[in-house]
Structure 1
Amino acid sequence: MQTQTLGTSDLSVSQFGLGTMSLLTSNSEDEAIRLVHRALDAGITLIDTADIYNDGAVEEVLGKALKGRHEKVVLATKVGLPMQGDPTRSGGGRAWIIQAVEDSLRRLDIDSIDLYQLHRPDPETPLEETLQAIDDLRRTGKIRHAGTSVFPAEMLVRTQWVATQMSLPPPVAEQAPYSILARGIEGEVLPTCRRYGLGVLAWSPLNGGWLTGKYRRNEAAPKGSRAASGNPFIRADDAAKLGLVEQLRALAEAAGLSLMRMSLAWTQAHPDVTSTLIGPRTEAQLDALLGAEDVRLDETLLDAIDRVVAPGVNVDPRNAGWVPEGLAREKRRC
């Protein structure tokens, strides 16, 4: 599997990374460990997780799965979203970051985290406080590099500026949602990442399962799918997406590809994407996803996809992953 350097860091990551949000959704601990090992054996060198995934249980399983194999893996985790729904155990404040990193290190059973990412912007905490805490972790060896997740372009610029003013190393990577159906980062986020040399980790390249083709017109959502489980962001009756997926499926079939492989190859085709995070629940799903690693889309097909979903468009605005502070209801009402 091909690898690239992540931004300005010294981290080399595989073109596909293993996202672990769903690692324990339907797997036992043993099944989850086997899935991780299969990913590593296939050439994946990047594993991405977060403290909130199953309230720390995913980090604990990864600690067991990676025992004896840490040196061959770039391990990334995240901090900031509420643990167990508790707002006092969240955010970018110094006290919480210092505690959270120790908790993650213990669960992961490691001494240092390769990439420690702010899971979402925290408008309630001064960025100076967050960046200083992150740098203290770096200087003490708790983390190697910092990253961000779902930061809008203006926050990426501000983060770089504040780090420069404080003479601190800035974050080296941004993790953002990116798929054919969620192209919002193309307008400002990706150009900003390019300008500052940030690596880009693309998550949800299949748009929550939509680009596997599993949701079809006048059919119930498949058992076990996110739509069937009541995920509020994924509706199997989304008329706009149903129509677009039908057009995209036709393009894939004409190119001799599955919709899923075409979609993964499309995300990976953007020159600013360093690694695409895939989140299989089973070993069979992993094998199917990895079949896209050698797929290359020609300009004719890429142009045809652009005609179905225009560059810079999020078909469902909720897929942006974060609501800007100024659009929050409480900020718009007296």
Structure 2
Amino acid sequence: MSTNRRPFGRTGVWISPLTLGAMNFGVRANADHDDSIRIIHAALDAGINVIDTADVYSQGESEEIVGKALKGARRDGTFLATKFHGQIGEEPHRRGNSRRWIFQAVEDSLRRLDTDWIDLYQVHRPEDETDVEETLGALDDLVRQGKIRYVGSSTYDPWEIVEGQWVSRTRGISRVVSEQPPYSILTRGIERELLPVAQRYDLAVLPWSPLAGGWLSGRHRRGQEQPVSDRAGQFPNRFDPAHPDNAVKLEATLQLGELADELGISLVHLALAWVLEHPAVTSAIIGPRSFEQLESQLGAVDVRLTADVLDRIDEIVPPGTNVNDADGGYVPESLSDPSRRRGGRTSHGSPRRF
């Protein structure tokens, strides 16, 4: 893989165009620690210098694997990112964006990662019941303590990003410098507002699921029986080809596969190269669970798409469009919680805020 680097916002840090996502390391997908470590080392040797994980991935096991892989000299050369917010264990207070949990979560992540600092500490999802000043104030304290270097967010709405920037500037505290949104040829909704907002505030953008949860892996071929994802049972509205909402997505996937064949490249390379073409995108997160999957993705950074090819992709999936709205990422409580639309109190028992 090419060793070219891209600026991480305006932090002065330069990172690789691909980020190694560690979600599939651990019992969730690849429970073989030694094999996972070999994949991590191969990615680093190929020029990737960013690893992204989260405390919730296999309930901390992913962080432990990453910590083992980076032990020694490899740690200094790696931009290490992790996230907090998700439920850890069974106790109800072991989750969220509160100061109390952030201070506990960072210590647990540092221990599992076997490191003294985290380069990028990200809020995994927004949380309506926690004041954004509470969250950003706690993260600023961690920056001042030297436990984290930068603050990031994941799957935030544009207005939430703007609010966070305003709070940081008015209070004089560390601001969010990066955002992780879902983005792929099949999931282009963030082109409407989020990517322009990121550019306005000089945020680095690290898209997750650039292969659309495996839809753009090249498995779907016209004239063949369509494979069913192992996640179809859990999320049929996103992954079951027989689900009505996925009919248009399947047709778009087949057309994109035919375009890739015409260009003489894999659909994986087409999909990743397309994400990296957007000027707001810093680094695309890949999440291989095997060495073969890693190898199939590395060469995408050397693929260049012409304007004609980009226009043809726009014809298949128009700009700013999510082919299936279920793939758009986080659904805010304003939509998912009926009480937010019908008066009364939220599902958490706190009064509605107007």
TM range (shorter): over 0.9
Which residue identity does 1:51 align to in structure 2?
Answer: D
| Greater CA drift, 113-122 or 231-240 | 231-240
| Closer/same/farther in 2, CA of residues 86 and 274 from structure 1, 3 Å limit | farther
Counterpart check, 1:61 vs 2:61: no
Question: Per the alignment, in what secondary structure is the counterpart of residue 264 of structure 2?
Answer: coil
Aligned to 2:18: 16
| Closer/same/farther in 2, CA of residues 135 and 212 from structure 1, 3 Å limit | same
Is the 1:221–1:227 contact (alpha carbons within 8 Å) kept by the matching residues of 2? no
Counterpart check, 1:239 vs 2:243: no
Question: Per the alignment, in what secondary structure is the counterpart of residue 151 of structure 2?
Answer: strand
Unaligned runs of 5+ in 1: none
| Greater CA drift, 209-218 or 192-201 | 209-218
Hey, what's the Cα distance between the residues in 2 that align with 1:229 and 1:22? Answer: 18
TM-score calculated relative to the size of structure 2: 0.90
Which residue identity does 1:104 align to in structure 2?
Answer: S
| Greater CA drift, 305-314 or 9-18 | 9-18
Matches within 5 A, 1:29-68: 29-68=33-72
Counterpart check, 1:290 vs 2:290: no
Aligned to 1:266: 274
Matches within 5 A, 1:291-310: 291-310=299-318
Matches within 5 A, 1:166-205: 166-205=171-210
Aligned to 1:28: 32
Is the 2:220–2:254 contact (alpha carbons within 8 Å) kept by the matching residues of 1? no
| Closer/same/farther in 2, CA of residues 278 and 229 from structure 1, 3 Å limit | farther
Deviations 1:134-170 (A, max 9, x none): 0000000110000010111000000000111111121
Matches within 5 A, 1:33-112: 33-68=37-72, 69-84=74-89, 86-112=91-117
Is the 2:206–2:281 contact (alpha carbons within 8 Å) kept by the matching residues of 1? yes
Counterpart check, 1:333 vs 2:339: no
Is the 1:227–1:236 contact (alpha carbons within 8 Å) kept by the matching residues of 2? no
Is the 1:11–1:74 contact (alpha carbons within 8 Å) kept by the matching residues of 2? no
| Greater CA drift, 236-245 or 300-309 | 236-245
| Closer/same/farther in 2, CA of residues 3 and 315 from structure 1, 3 Å limit | same
Deviations 1:32-55 (A, max 9, x none): 111101111111000000000000
Is the 2:185–2:275 contact (alpha carbons within 8 Å) kept by the matching residues of 1? yes
Calculate the aligned-residue CA RMSD, in Å: 1.5
Hey, what's the Cα distance between the residues in 2 that align with 1:51 and 1:88? Answer: 15
Hey, what's the Cα distance between the residues in 2 that align with 1:244 and 1:87? Answer: 42
Aligned to 1:221: 227
Aligned to 2:140: 135
Matches within 5 A, 1:307-318: 307-318=315-326
In the alignment of these two chains, the number of paired residues is 332
Unaligned runs of 5+ in 2: 344-354
